[in-house]
Structure 1
Amino acid sequence: MRVITFNTQGIEQAADNGFFQWMVKQDADVVCLQDLRAKEYQLDDKRYHPEGYDAYFFDAFEDGYSGVAIYTRIMPKAIMTGLGFEQCDFNGRFIQADFDNVSVAAFSVPSGLKSEEAQTAKEEYLRLLKGHFTKTLRKRREFIFCGPLQTAHKSQDLSNWYVNQRVSGFLPQERQWMEELFGEMGYVDAFRQVNHADQQYTWWPDYNKARDLNEGARLDYQVTTANLRKTVKAASIYRDECFSAHAPVIVDYDL
């Protein structure tokens, strides 16, 4: 099973930049998209519905804001939206597709870069999201969660990490949250399971040459339950084309 996750920063912009033409060439089984900034009724055009894929959306209440989607070639047994808390459900930040042996979810975490208030909201969101990850451990099936955690896990996941230790996305409390997720809770960072290279970034700041200089951060993840650890066969970040300030993350699973 090939799974792709991509933060579009606006699905219309990503489509204009050629994302869907690229997507259909990837032989992906499931594609998780975040930050659509459009509602489902605005996406009727066939360019948003490539042949061979069924699309499922979870809109944000506010126009032009957030929203997630799952594109799949496999008919899901069920679709679930929301996590039961306002910061997620009001802003369209979680959708899950259940298949025979695994569930795949597209999620997003708000950025804390804009202000202290935004950082406080992000940390509260992470606290509530951790509650969902805890509940998931009690379920008798496997999960792949795909999306931006808006945090670089380790120093190898962030350029100029030393001077960014007081910046949202690499704060001590954020890294501690990641350590708990991938440590005592037992979840797996699927990308790092097979790809240990440095300077593997999925996001670059909005200034000239950052992408060319590869000065960025790995903010986008595929997080799996522990039993899927050995099923991860390959993982890569596609950066040959620029569809948004983020790059697609591609992971192949032996499922």
Structure 2
Amino acid sequence: MSTPLVIKIGGAIMESPQALIELFKVVKTLQNTNQAIIIVHGGGCVADELLAKAGYTSKKVNGLRVSEPEHMAIITGALAGTVNKALVASANTVGISAVGLALHDGQMIKCTPAEEFLGCVGVPKANNNAFINGLVASNNVAIISSIGSLDNGQLVNVNADDAAVAISQLVNGNLILLTDVAGVKGASGEYLESLNYNDAQQLIEQGVIDGGMIAKVNAAFTAATQLRRSIAVASWKTPEQLITLQQGNVFGTRIEPNC
């Protein structure tokens, strides 16, 4: 089995059905070259919409969602239900055998409670790769939502970037974080080809890297350092570049390990 490629996508791509289809066409092309693919997704925009319809207000701290206990049924339904099953259905339309999962299926990922002010949020850790390895070996694409559970069975929301890092560690895979921008911007507004830890911290202090990109960049550094390989942060709007990535070409911003 090839080294799996873990692709993290955000909920924003759900607003562009054609972009989603184009991404899955590329995934199918990669599969045809015997590249194992795993997709991890969030879905914050869908969760926000459903929470608003229910009369709830979402809060975020440093780009991280505060998941109140009374919000969890809606958040779980949005991510593990609506978004996950829509992604599986889209993958099926281009001939991909896709399986929709949550993080705790097959005991893949174990979660511990995050900081209390975040509410029902979990910190993911790789646990058991037998289930996911079997799926991938059978030429399936696992599509994994960022919903997990604690040891006591409580469902928790997990930052999708952190979830993708944990899945990458689980399968010792390469990771690419797809977002709605072409990479990480530098102080002059240009997209950076590569980024090291010290430069990233400086850009965060300057406010150049802010909001949700802070969590994304920090997750990428965690993954790069633990996996001992660079991680790409790039746009889902040009999915064909995933193919050139296999050939060693630059795609988005490469996050370098913090050695």
Q: TM-score, normalised by structure 2?
A: 0.37
Q: TM-score, normalised by structure 1?
A: 0.38
